[in-house]
């Protein structure tokens, strides 16, 4: 299988840094997709629609992106049928050659963290990588690092997130530095032992496009760490904002766009597939520049 960092580097070299987030919302789905599941019992309809929509999105964006990031929460919201849909969608993404990031932001301790990790990297989700929350400390992160290393997978640790309220805790100054810099230093330490042939490691950092100054600062502080950059597109981050996230060799960052690529249409728009293709092509082109 090879190191996660090297597989991610190969995907970025082939397709550029665009990562397509799959965050399905029932009310935003194409009317035709919702109609296609109308024959099912109501509790099963959202999950089936999410799977059908997600599979089609994978096919449509495949020429423009090598990385996809399903958001677990939206599938969980649809209950058992949604979780089954997520599992099948993860499998379909890998069959199509995508590197997968399961966006679940897991964070817990001891055996609970180990169970989350086993689910993410084992046969349940079989994710290439997982987003994790480091707030509980080293002992909460360690099970994810151990499981990822054993399975040849990666993790993305929340460092400087893209939401408006991120600074409430992340900007607090401790020992002369904001908290996010302390988290970044820990990520650098955890990553150091996992470097692949591409010069980057398997322990990445989540750094939002909506904080370009911090993105530039963290790229310099984490030269061998993959950055997962949310906030581009619908959240207001621009291609210019994310440039500071790349290394000189063009690697080092994957830039996520969810709504901007997957929902650039109104539900009644019969040409929604063309809109998705155009949005993905436009984002891929902007980010390559």
- pLDDT (tens, 9 = 90+) of the chain, 289 residues, equals 679 999 999 999 999 999 999 999 999 999 999 999 999 999 999 999 999 999 999 999 999 999 999 999 999 999 999 999 999 999 999 999 999 999 999 999 989 999 999 999 999 999 999 999 999 999 999 999 999 999 999 999 999 998 889 899 999 999 999 999 999 999 999 999 999 999 999 999 999 988 888 999 999 999 999 999 998 876 778 888 899 999 999 999 999 999 999 999 999 999 999 999 999 999 999 998 7
In the chain, the number of structural domains is 1
Residue 51, in any domain of the structure: no
Catalytic: which of 69, 94, 105, 243?
A: 105
Residue 87, in any domain of the structure: no
Residue 49, in any domain of the structure: no
Sign of the alpha-carbon dihedral angle for 85, 117, 208, 225: negative
Residue 65, in any domain of the structure: no
Is the distance from CB of 120 to CB of 102 less than 8 angstroms? yes
Where residue 199 sits, what CATH number does that domain have? 3.20.20.70
Residue 90, in any domain of the structure: no
- 55-104, pLDDT tens digit by residue? 999 999 999 999 999 999 999 999 999 999 999 999 999 999 999 999 99
Residue 109, in any domain of the structure: yes
Residue 221, in any domain of the structure: yes
Q: Tell me, yes or no, if 105 is annotated catalytic.
A: yes
| Main-chain phi, psi angles of 252, to 5 degrees | 100, -15
175 vs 77: CA distance, rounded Å: 40
Q: Which domain holds residue 147?
A: 4-20+102-288
Among 14, 11, 16, 33, CA closest to 263 = 33
Residue 16, in any domain of the structure: yes
pTM of the model: 0.96
Question: Could you report how far apart the first and last alpha carbons of the chain are, in Å?
Answer: 30
């Amino acid at each position: 299988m090879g190191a996660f960092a090297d597989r991610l580097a190969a995907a970025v070299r082939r397709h550029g840094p665009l990562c397509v987030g799959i965050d399905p919302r029932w009310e935003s789905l194409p009317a035709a997709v919702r109609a296609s599941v109308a024959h099912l019992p109501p509790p099963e309809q959202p999950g089936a629609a999410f799977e059908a929509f997600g599979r089609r999105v994978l096919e449509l964006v495949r020429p423009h992106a090598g990385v996809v990031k399903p958001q677990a929460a939206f599938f969980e919201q649809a209950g058992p049928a949604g979780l089954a849909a997520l599992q099948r969608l993860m499998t379909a993404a890998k069959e199509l050659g995508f590197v997968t990031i399961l966006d679940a932001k897991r964070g817990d301790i001891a055996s609970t963290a180990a169970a989350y990790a086993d689910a993410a990297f084992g046969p349940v989700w079989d994710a290439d990588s997982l987003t994790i929350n480091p707030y509980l400390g080293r002992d909460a992160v360690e099970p994810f690092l151990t499981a990822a290393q054993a399975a040849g997978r990666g993790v993305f640790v929340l460092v400087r997130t893209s939401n408006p309220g991120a600074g409430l805790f992340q900007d607090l100054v401790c020992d002369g530095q904001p908290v996010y810099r302390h988290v970044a230093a820990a990520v650098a330490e955890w990553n150091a032992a996992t470097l692949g042939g591409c010069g980057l490691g398997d322990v990445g950092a989540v750094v939002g496009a909506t904080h370009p100054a911090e993105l530039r600062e963290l790229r310099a502080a984490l030269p061998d760490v993959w950055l997962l950059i949310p906030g581009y597109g619908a959240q207001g981050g621009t291609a210019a904002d994310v440039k500071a996230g790349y290394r000189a060799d063009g690697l080092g960052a994957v830039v996520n766009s969810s709504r901007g690529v997957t929902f650039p249409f109104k539900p009644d728009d019969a040409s929604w597939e063309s809109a998705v293709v155009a949005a993905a092509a436009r984002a891929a082109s902007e980010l390559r520049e």
